[in-house]
Amino acid sequence: MQANLLLLSPDSFRDYELVDCGSFEKLERFGQYVTRRPEPKAVWAPSLPESEWRALAHATFQHKKGAKSNPDERGTWTKKSGMPDRWLISYLHNGLDMTLRLGLTSFKHVGVFPEQAANWDFIYSACRRLKKGARVLNLFAYTGGASLAARAAGADVTHLDSVRQAVTWASDNMQASRLDGIRWLVDDALKYVRRQVRRGAKYSGIVLDPPAYGRGPDGERWLLGEGILELMSGVEKMLEKQGSFLVLNLYALGFSSVACDTLVSSVFGHPPQRESGELALKDSFGKQLPLSVFTRFAR
């Protein structure tokens, strides 16, 4: 059975707005502050004139000269007076209440991927249906939006990322959200999964958002195309056969929603409630900006 193919965009994120996008950039409001940063998928023309982009943006990111072809290249932010380096926003929807600390990083990120709100809602609802204290594992967990959603629903959450600063940031988000009890790990995801499989560990929910490439805390090399099948095979061994859920999200260019769905179905079979598609943001003019592909199911 083919999965339902969806284009999901969060519709209840009051502290976030995609104001405009185009010419390989996006103009976004996070709380009371507006940022301007590169977006390689915004291949169309923006709706607002350049003068309004300049007037609205409190902070503008620029890559180093000659580095635009590499989206992971460092750059710098130009800030207007009064723009802080750090601030807080909230996400409140259907009982899920989270507070997230944002910051201007040298890699253009601000600490949240707002399109993931569609997955936060799914995770929160899935965990609410599980027994309290069900074990949930979040791999490549970054600043922890998915971890917070699972914990807010009563799950026993393990949050793993290879970057210590990201784990510290996620811990700050937990405290800001008035939550506690998340288990923090700085580790290589594939090594951790291998160990957990050998130990016979089981989880009721697994969330993973592997990058196209990266490094573990001890320099371990990760390439999505080389490691994803082994990783997913290990995840399949750890995930409970019934009363469980999975979320796989990919930002890697070249991986379509069909490829993501085929990968999951090749490992897990064909769960009847499987969904696949793209996570997107809709700007204030109605233009849709696709950002990642996902496959998820609850059984």
| pLDDT attached to residue 4 | 62
The contacts of residue 58 (CB under 8 Å, 6+ apart) are: 33, 34, 35, 79, 80, 82, 83
pTM value is 0.94
For residue 97, give Cα distances in angstroms to 17, 18, 93, 121, 155.
18, 21, 7, 11, 15
Does CATH number 1.10.260.40 belong to domain 4-9+113-298? no
Instruction: Check residue 10 and give its pLDDT.
Output: 82
Of 105, 89, 86, nearest in space to 97 by CA: 89
Provide the residue ranges of all domains of the chain, joining segments of one domain with +: 4-9+113-298
Cα–Cα distance for residue pair 209/138, rounded to 1 Å: 9
Q: Return the pLDDT at 72.
A: 58
pLDDT tens string, the chain, 299 residues long: the values are 556 667 887 878 999 999 999 999 999 999 999 999 999 999 999 999 999 999 999 999 998 865 555 555 789 999 999 999 999 999 999 999 999 999 999 999 999 999 999 999 999 999 999 998 999 999 999 999 999 999 999 999 999 999 999 999 999 999 999 999 999 999 999 999 999 999 999 999 999 999 998 989 999 998 999 999 999 999 999 999 999 999 999 998 888 999 999 999 999 998 878 999 999 999 999 999 999 999 999 99
* Matching residue, tokens 């707005």: 17
Task: Provide CB contacts within 8 A for 18, sequence distance 6+.
Answer: 26, 27, 28, 114, 281, 282, 283, 284, 289
Helices (H), the chain: 50-56, 117-129, 145-152, 164-176, 189-199, 224-238, 257-268
Query: What is the model's pLDDT at position 261?
Result: 95
Sheet holding 33-38, edge to edge: 16-22, 25-30, 33-38, 59-63, 75-79
Q: Measured at the alpha carbon of residue 74, what is the angle toward residues 70 and 78, in degrees to the nearest 5?
A: 120
Q: Assign residue 120 a region: left if phi > 0, alpha if psi is -120 to 50, beta otherwise?
A: alpha
Q: Residue 12: its pLDDT value, please?
A: 84
Query: Distance between CA 178 and CA 182 in Å, rounded?
Result: 12
Count CA atoms closer than 13 A to 172's CA, side-chain side. Answer: 17
The pLDDT of residue 271 is 86
pLDDT of residue 11: 77
